[in-house]
Amino acid sequence: MIGGAFDEPLSRRGGLTRGARLMRALHLDGPLLMALGAIAAFGLLILYSAAGGNLGPWLRQVLRLGLAILAMVALAQVPARVLRMVAPAAYAVGVVLLIAVAVLGDVGKGAQRWLDLGFVRFQPSEIMKLAVPMMCAWYLHDRALPPSLRETLVVLAIIAVPAILIAEQPDLGTALLVAGAGVFVLLLGGLAWRVVFTGIGLAAAAAPVAWLLMHDYQRRRVLTLLDPQIDPLGAGYHIIQSQIAIGSGGVFGKGWMNGSQAQLEFLPERSTDFIFAVIGEEFGLLGQLFLLALYMAAVGRALFLANQCRDTFGRLVAGSIALTFFVYIFVNTGMVTGLLPVVGVPLPLVSYGGTSMVTLLAGFGILMSLQAQRKLVRT
């Protein structure tokens, strides 16, 4: 057992190239980085087309990507125990900011999400995507797992406070992601299956209550998912146009820059939330399956790295980050293909927009920092 850890450095010392040694020194994981890089590159390619061949938004996105990579590399250098130590502070600051937004935030697109700090507009809910799982893991990491009922309830409370604040903004998509990130910590921490299924049962029972609490536009999104023809030029328009774009792409697509749905502006939000439909239209089934495969590789590698982490905190946070990444992918592609209601979740690393990209790569930076301290033993 101990030997396993003992000869690992030996074998590496001989086989590592200079580049790989640098990566190792920077706590970066090559395969994961390659998968993320490929996704981002593919994203830039399609964004150029989705933006109608305008270089402006494209360059801004490249800039954001660069910034996000910097954030990732920087966070990867932070020692895991420091991350663990700052978790409660980050969570507290996040909650305070969310309350601040609720009180004085800017209103954009009918929702109050932004905090204007004067020099930069800032979405505190983004912080919570990372702060919530870290806080949950912090709470659980020195307790015996699986969590007891009381501990589970505490964790749920930790999740609920920011999730409710965000849902009230209203930003159902982000609330979902934040809550998901926290719940993943519980699940990966070994929450008993019977509790899990009981929870799912309760959620199903609570659905009618949730329906009552939903905003009109949220209800409409659910209704139009069930039947987009209810309102083909209103709420159903997104769903109909996006499915036309994807369906008319066929197996091979219409070719880069040739998607009529996207280029003629039939497809709304084509460079942001609905960019997956542009991929479907221009690169077809093959292009979309290729991207899904890259995502699968990234999620799989991230889960593998999470499993390699030395301590519970690292495993739980890393695993949660990997699964949250997947939730982005599933919610977005599900929405664009008409499987899920329209929820404002971007396609990770591909959709135009800065905040989510920085948060995502910052998450991967944390994941890399955590995995840099491999476990001592293999089981």
Partner 1 sequence: MRRVKVKDLFREQRTFEVRAIVAALIVALMLGLVAARLVWLQVVRFDYYTDLSQGNRARIEPLPPDRGIIYDRKGRVLAENTPAYQLTVTLERVRDLDATLGKLVAIGLLEANDVDRVRQLLRSRRSFEAVPVRLRLTDEEISHYAVNRHRLPGVDLTTRVARYYPYGPSGVHALGYVGSISEDDLKRIDPEEYFGTAAIGKTGLERSYEEQLHGTGGFREVLVNAEGRRMEAVGDDTSELRLQRPVAGQNLELALDIELQRVAEQAMGQRRGAVIALDPWNGDVLVLASTPTFDPNKFARGISTVDYRTLTTDIDQPLYNRALRGTYPPGSTVKPLMALAGLEAGVIEPDDSRFCPGFFRLPNSSHRYRDWKREGHGTVNMREAIMTSCDVYFYGLAATLGIDRIHDSMSRIGFGKATGIDIQGERSGIIPSTEWKKSAFRQPEQQVWFPGETVIVGIGQGYWTATPLQLAHAMAVLATRGRHFRPRLVRAIVDPASGERRERPGEELPRVELKDPASWEVIVDAMVAVTTGARGTAVRAARGAAYTIAGKTGTAQVFTVGQDEEYDEETVAERLRDHALFVAFAPAEQPRIAIAVLVENGGHGSSAAAPIARAVFDAYLLEQTG
The residues of the shown chain that bind partner 1, judged by CB under 8 A, are 142-146, 148, 184, 187-190, 241, 243-251, 254-255, 257-261, 263-266, 280, 284-285, 288-289, 292, 295-296, 299-300, 303-304, 306-307, 312, 315-316, 319, 323, 326, 329-330, 333-334, 337-339, 375, 377, 379
Q: Where are the beta strands (DSSP E) in 106-191?
A: 106-108, 111-116, 121-122
Distance, CA of 173 to CA of 378 (rounded, Å): 38
Please identify, using beta-carbon distances, which residue of 71 and 246 lies nearer to partner 1: 246
Please check whether residue 317 is in contact with residue 366, taking contact to mean a CB–CB distance below 8 angstroms. Answer: yes
Q: Which of 310, 334, 327, 312 is nearest to 363 (CA)?
A: 327
- Shortest CB 180 distance to partner 1, Å: 12
Please identify, using beta-carbon distances, which residue of 77 and 243 lies nearer to partner 1: 243
Distance, CA of 236 to CA of 223 (rounded, Å): 9
- Shortest CB 210 distance to partner 1, Å: 21
- Shortest CB 280 distance to partner 1, Å: 7
Please identify, using beta-carbon distances, which residue of 105 and 249 lies nearer to partner 1: 249
Distance, CA of 172 to CA of 189 (rounded, Å): 25
- Shortest CB 256 distance to partner 1, Å: 8
Q: Which of 141, 177, 134, 175 is nearest to 365 (CA)?
A: 134
Residue with tokens 């001989």: 14
Instruction: Kindly tell me the burial class for residue 1, based on how many C-beta atoms sit within 10 Å of its own C-beta (0-12, 13-18, 19 or more).
Output: exposed
Please identify, using beta-carbon distances, which residue of 33 and 137 lies nearer to partner 1: 137
- Shortest CB 265 distance to partner 1, Å: 4
- Shortest CB 223 distance to partner 1, Å: 20
DSSP 262: H
Please identify, using beta-carbon distances, which residue of 106 and 265 lies nearer to partner 1: 265
Structure-token pair, residue 15: 């086989």
- Shortest CB 347 distance to partner 1, Å: 12
| Tally of CA atoms within 13 A in the half-sphere of 179 that contains its CB | 15
Please identify, using beta-carbon distances, which residue of 327 and 361 lies nearer to partner 1: 327
Sign of the torsion angle spanned by Cα atoms 253, 258, 260, 263: positive
**Helix/strand/coil for 113:** strand
Please identify, using beta-carbon distances, which residue of 148 and 198 lies nearer to partner 1: 148
